[in-house]
Structure 1
Amino acid sequence: MAQCRAKPMTFPSSRSFPAVAMVSLALAAPAWCQTLSLDNDIQTHATLASTTVTLTGRSELRITGATTPITGSVIHLNSPDAWLFFTNIRPSVVNSAYLGQIRVNGANAVLNTNCRVVQHADGTVVIPHGSTFTPMQVFSGSHFTGTSMSLANHTAYNDGSLGVLANKISSFKLKRGYTATVAQNASGSGVSRNYVAQDGDIEVALLPTDLDDSISFVRVFPWRWTGKKGMAGNISSGLNVRWDYNWNIDRNSILDTEYVPIRATRWWPDLGQNWNTRGANHLLGYNEPDSVDQSNIAVGDAIWSWPDLLGTGLRVGSPAPTDGGLNWLYSFMDQADTAKLRVDFVAVHYYRSFSSASDPDGATTQFYNFLKGVYDRTKRPLWVTEWNNGANWTTGPDPTLAQNAATVAKMIEMLDNTPFVERYSLYNWVEDVRRVKWDDGSLTAAGVAYRDKVSPLAYTQVIPEVQTAASAFYRFENNTRDSSANGHAAISRGAAKFTTGKTGRGITLSGNAASGDHVLLPPRIGDSVDFTFGAWVYW
């Protein structure tokens, strides 16, 4: 029998309560060879060479290398919760160069057949979910009891297709990597709510009173972990952006870039789209409704037509007024809230100039204060869907190309670091001195600054708030479910993982700040002024 040696693999120690996962090394002939098994484990490696990797349970393997990351290796994803991340390689490259080294339950990984290859910030996540995967499960009883039904992506669920669960849903589970919208009326109107399971599964044990036993509409869409930075218009190439839009619905998302559709005017474009083909999970509202030169819609008319947008089931952004149209925006938001019309985020434009072209800090502070005022008034995350450092119609001094580059660089730093700004997309055509891209495709100094900035993830995970007593009991039995009757489910984040505990299972936190291990608590628990905590902790 041939003999070989296993190359040793070492891993960082961790603080846990109380155990760390085991790594098994298998021998294979005839030279260096190794196996790596992850079972309910999370590991990070720069690269792997000549390694057979098997992931089972709720596991994550993160590969940080940007070139030749898995030379001679084969990676097996053997459960729906076994995910593979390439943190510095684009989805198109993963699909073309590395998918052949990945197996899903023993079969070759095939895009959109037995796996998803999805944007994840500046990299990619490979998710072993096939085209028939059902990411949502609804229940007739609270706390996931009673009759249940599994729901698929891109399916129009209404009273007929929900069957006995029409107006009888009281709880649901939504798998990580998906977004779902539920509504009272079969048209998507009435009280509705959008849920996003970005960082972990969302489990709603108790629905809000106005939705409990009142749901006649459900839509589920795949999620993308898109970065903040985008572009307005069809000029994204070479600018290193993760999303764009073009005041239309005439394109589809591609592996590396999310395309966001918009209902630019009251009746156009048509919303009878195949959202699966479009690759969409967001929809922008009317473009500059306060301007006679744009969509030019009275607030009351916009409110009357808003259910048309809600009927898509997509995550919906407000109409985007000019930066002088905030009164229009605030009136719309007030009336939408009164009518219980869903608006998931607020879109704004910004072209205000500053008194000095050579003061990037001053211009950026003015921009931040404008955004902070809108956020404080609307209490929604913001998308800045058009912006620049002034415009041809503003009164401030025009910058030089170098001054504009310095100010744009400062502004995108502010946008990336402002938590209530979810996304932003620069507008190019407001005088040559403010361009980021010339018509021949070359970049200005501001364009280089825009290209070279790597923006963080856009969406910040929100846990649905449940209006029950502010107490919870977490057993960590391979989940972060609240075992009390209060329904305050949490989400584990970073490299937090489950292991053997004092009694039954427990959760392991590495203590490494870089990995960001923690358990995210729901608002009524984590945001309380008074806080009592009790647990078995192995330190």
Structure 2
Amino acid sequence: MLPLLALHLILLSCSRFLISNALASISTKAGLAWSNDNWDDIEQYTSTGKVTWYYTWSPGSVSTSLEFVPMLWGDRQVSEWESSINQTIQDLGVTRILGFNEPDYSTQSNMTPSHAASVWKAQIEPLRSQNIQLGSPAPTSAPEGKQWLLDWLNACGGGCTVDFIALHWYDINSTAFIEYLEDFHDTFQKPLWITEWACQNFDVADEQCSLQNIVDFMNVTQSFMDATDWVGRYAWFGAMENLQGVNQDDAIMDSSGRINALGEQYIGALVPQISSNYTPGVVNGGSGSSTSPSLESAALSCGYLPRTSTLLMLPAVVMLLLVW
């Protein structure tokens, strides 16, 4: 009787994770933040159909089957934007636009909310007449990022249409990531696009995620976004031959431009080897002696089952629950 009770408890705990992972297995929200010189490398990410779009931090596109989403990065691109965006919309069938890149940060587009509002009204807002969906400026995940976005909306005075909120997030705690997204959604009541995110510690430089930490972190955060209806799209940082500014193990391609194992995980072509003792926010872990799992840990481990197996397992879970 006790083993059956234990199995029942585990199945009940697993069911939510199995259903969400089954939904994740058919998600097409994933995209690429693309800045490489070798444009041909982008096609290797299209094999599974999970990656469906890309952006280049600019109005400029590349030759690919993926949907292009132009961005007006900031002031330095206004001239290029004015001269090309309407033709790009016409030629590529563009339906979505991204706003300014980290305007709250001095080394990125570095725009005050009032100035950003005036540039938006002149360069981006008019595209609404072409039925283009407009994504907000994407702030950093620093404490001032969210406030900048609120101040920008206030400076717009109702004159800036926002169809979805774009944002960036860098840290090492997957639980904190999910809570951050929930807070943004609660605040702005709009779909979210996470146009940059990675397992990167900007607070303590010597405490970066190990490769195993990154595998676990990507699995949890990507699965959450795939299964959450108010997350519209996302793009991992980074699909780059020379990864800039973050932990090199976050790269989803090698230095020669070829997709690596983490990239295969990102596009759903590789079942990740997930740590049985993964703890959100703990870095350089994942080793040590194993112990017999408790019922709680066995149930939690269902959240990290390979996505490719969840659709096949759902009928069995349902039948076992009915029999019980």
- How far residue 122 of structure 1 moved from its aligned partner, in angstroms, is 10
User: Which residues of structure 1 form unaligned runs of 5+?
Assistant: 1-120, 124-225, 354-362, 455-539
Which residue of 2 is the match for residue 431 of structure 1?
247
The 5 A counterparts of 1:330-345 are 330-336=150-156, 338-345=157-164
- How far residue 352 of structure 1 moved from its aligned partner, in angstroms, is 1.6
The 5 A counterparts of 1:119-268 are 227-234=28-35, 236-240=42-46, 241-251=51-61, 254=64, 256-266=65-75, 268=77
Match of 2:166, as an amino acid?
Answer: A
- How far residue 420 of structure 1 moved from its aligned partner, in angstroms, is 1.2
SS at match of 1:270: helix
Q: CA 1:253–1:417 in 2, change beyond 3 Å: closer, same or farther?
A: farther
Which residue of 1 is the match for residue 187 of structure 2?
377
SS at match of 1:311: helix
Contact 1:287 1:294 (8 Å CA) reproduced = yes
SS at match of 2:167: strand
- How far residue 243 of structure 1 moved from its aligned partner, in angstroms, is 0.5
Q: How many residues in Structure 1 have an aligned counterpart in Structure 2?
A: 221
Which residue of 2 is the match for residue 319 of structure 1?
137
- How far residue 402 of structure 1 moved from its aligned partner, in angstroms, is 2.4
Which residue of 2 is the match for residue 525 of structure 1?
none
Question: Which of the residues 163, 168, 193 maps onto 1:349?
Answer: 168
Contact 1:252 1:278 (8 Å CA) reproduced = no
Larger helix proportion of the pair:
2
Q: Deviations over 1:484-524 (max 9, x none)?
A: xxxxxxxxxxxxxxxxxxxxxxxxxxxxxxxxxxxxxxxxx
The 5 A counterparts of 1:366-405 are 366-391=176-201, 393-395=202-204, 397-405=207-215
Match of 1:270, as an amino acid?
Answer: W
Residues of 2 paired with 1:413 and 1:401: CA distance?
Answer: 18
Residues of 1 paired with 2:120 and 2:269: CA distance?
Answer: 36
Residues of 2 paired with 1:442 and 1:253: CA distance?
Answer: 17
Residues of 2 paired with 1:410 and 1:122: CA distance?
Answer: 13
Higher gyration radius (CA): 1
Q: Name the structure, 1 or 2, with higher relative contact order (CA <8 Å, separation 6+).
A: 2
Q: CA 1:329–1:309 in 2, change beyond 3 Å: closer, same or farther?
A: same
CA RMSD of aligned residues (A): 2.6
Match of 1:244, as an amino acid?
Answer: Y
Which residue of 1 is the match for residue 267 of structure 2?
451
Contact 1:233 1:246 (8 Å CA) reproduced = yes
Q: 2:88 aligned with 1:270, yes or no?
A: no
Contact 1:398 1:433 (8 Å CA) reproduced = no
Larger strand proportion of the pair:
1
Which residue of 1 is the match for residue 110 of structure 2?
296
User: Which stretch shifts more, 295-304 or 258-267?
Assistant: 258-267
User: Which residues of structure 2 form unaligned runs of 5+?
Assistant: 1-23, 36-40, 271-324
Contact 1:251 1:278 (8 Å CA) reproduced = no
Contact 1:233 1:427 (8 Å CA) reproduced = no
Which residue of 2 is the match for residue 144 of structure 1?
none
Residues of 1 paired with 2:63 and 2:53: CA distance?
Answer: 9
The 5 A counterparts of 1:21-40 are none
Residues of 1 paired with 2:209 and 2:76: CA distance?
Answer: 39
TM-score (norm 2): 0.62
- How far residue 398 of structure 1 moved from its aligned partner, in angstroms, is 1.8
